[in-house]
Structure 1
Amino acid sequence: VAYVVPGLTRSERQFLGPVLIGSSVLFYVGLLFSYEVLTPAALKFFVSYADGAVESLWSIDQYFEFVLVLMLSTGLSFQVPVVQVMLGQLGLVSSQSMLGVWRYVVVGSVAAAAVLTPSTDPFTQTLLALPLCGLYFGGAFVVRALEERRDTAATA
């Protein structure tokens, strides 16, 4: 970042700061959500799955890989509002168009949750799909607020 900042204009620097802070905060919130909510739910599913019929033998490597993949994918999926705000600020997408495709977003969130969660139980997938939908709608409303602020500044 220190290498890039001197080459940016003033407006680009004002845009970069909130994006970096928001991205970092959302990534860490995603990591925390994965560690505190998703990982215990998925592990509970794996341990109770076919209880008595199958013995679960996890090596420490498999456990760490499972937790790290789940945390990384959740942290990255929590970047959706940052991408939305960037696209909105660049004028590529409006909040109205974001909210106009909400049905596809819900289906896409469920599909993404099915891919990102390593377990096959619907509870863990729902635990990820609901925050993804919430993050998308939250990002769309932030873009709407930025559009309204930009419109009031233009008319004043």
Structure 2
Amino acid sequence: MSTIEDTKTPIQPDQQDYLNEIPDEVEMSLFDHLEELRQRIFFSLIAVFLGMVGCFIFVKPLVKWLQIPAQGVKFLQLAPGEFFFVSIKVAGYSGILVSSPFILYQIIQFVLPGLTRRERRLLGPVVLGSSVLFFLGLGFSYYLLIPAALNFFITYGAELVEQSWSIDRYFEFILLLMFSTGLAFQIPIIQLVLGFLGIVSSGKMLQGWRIVVLGAVILGAVLTPSTDPLTQSLLAGAVLGLYFGGVGMVKLTGH
């Protein structure tokens, strides 16, 4: 009677030690770490400032693009300088977005010396996946959530109320919703990191599905600035899809 041997090659202790090593480890004092952190924060702030200035130069086309989901609603400036401060707000958010690759680079360069070879393997996929998911969240919000919410508000009582909105309140609404959705789309990345580090397995993530459903509903209500159920349901559904998709990815990695 023949036996079937396990074809999986176990990781040898020497290889384990190699993966757990910190390559090119350099001893640094606490003061040196704080000084490096200060410099990288300073460079990041400079990048954000330059991004804001660049976006402010082209802010009017950005404002027009962000007004498209409003379906031709008339915007009002209810106080002197309101549109100017709205322009600064739009340029601020856009500047952070434009400078985010440089900020990510500074974060990576700060944490990289303290990472083992095993942890460095995860760094590239995490950064790339996080960036892609964030922009997918922005697109999901702009093309689905915002039009759904605005359509609800425009059609509700349209025969009784003329639609004239404060431009400041409008941009506060859509910018908050877009960036909140982008952050919510980071859920699979958090799951992958937790699974890779062995903190939570895919089985444990799946066992708590009832709590996740409740949390998604609460998150949808908290992150959406509007109170309409359609927008909250769309965001909650997206969060659930991302969570269970993240469980599947953690399962595929063997954790």
What TM-score do the two structures reach when normalised by structure 1? 0.88
**Structure of greater relative contact order (alpha carbons < 8 Å, 6+ residues apart):** 1
| Aligned mates of 1:4, 1:91 — CA distance in 2 | 20
Q: CA deviation at 1:13?
A: 1.4
Aligned to 1:123: 230
Q: How does 1:134-153 map to 2 (within 5 A)?
A: 134-147=241-254
Q: How does 1:87-98 map to 2 (within 5 A)?
A: 87-98=194-205
Q: Provide the alpha-carbon RMSD of the alignment.
A: 1.5
Moved more, 22-31 or 109-118: 109-118
Q: Secondary structure at the match of 1:26?
A: helix
Aligned to 1:16: 123
Q: Which amino acid aligns with 1:64?
A: F
| Aligned mates of 2:200, 2:114 — CA distance in 1 | 26
Q: CA deviation at 1:8?
A: 2.7
- Cα deviations by residue, 1:89-122 (Å, 9 ceiling, x for unpaired): 1111011110001111112111111121222222
Moved more, 84-93 or 7-16: 7-16
The answer as to 2:123 corresponding to 1:48 is: no
- Cα deviations by residue, 1:23-78 (Å, 9 ceiling, x for unpaired): 11111100000011001111111112222333443122222111100001100000
Aligned to 1:151: none
| Aligned mates of 2:116, 2:194 — CA distance in 1 | 19
| Aligned mates of 2:162, 2:190 — CA distance in 1 | 43
The answer as to 2:145 corresponding to 1:38 is: yes
The answer as to 2:181 corresponding to 1:110 is: no
Q: Secondary structure at the match of 1:50?
A: coil
Q: Which amino acid aligns with 2:165?
A: W
Aligned to 1:57: 164
Q: Secondary structure at the match of 2:146?
A: helix
- Cα deviations by residue, 1:108-143 (Å, 9 ceiling, x for unpaired): 111111121222222211111111101000001111
| Aligned mates of 1:102, 1:54 — CA distance in 2 | 43
Decide which structure has the larger Cα Rg and report it: 2
* Structure 2 gaps, min length 5: 1-107
Q: Secondary structure at the match of 1:4?
A: helix
What TM-score do the two structures reach when normalised by structure 2? 0.55
| Aligned mates of 1:111, 1:7 — CA distance in 2 | 37
Q: Secondary structure at the match of 2:254?
A: helix
Q: Which amino acid aligns with 2:139?
A: L
| Aligned mates of 1:82, 1:65 — CA distance in 2 | 27
Which of 14, 23, 27 is residue 134 of structure 2 equivalent to?
27
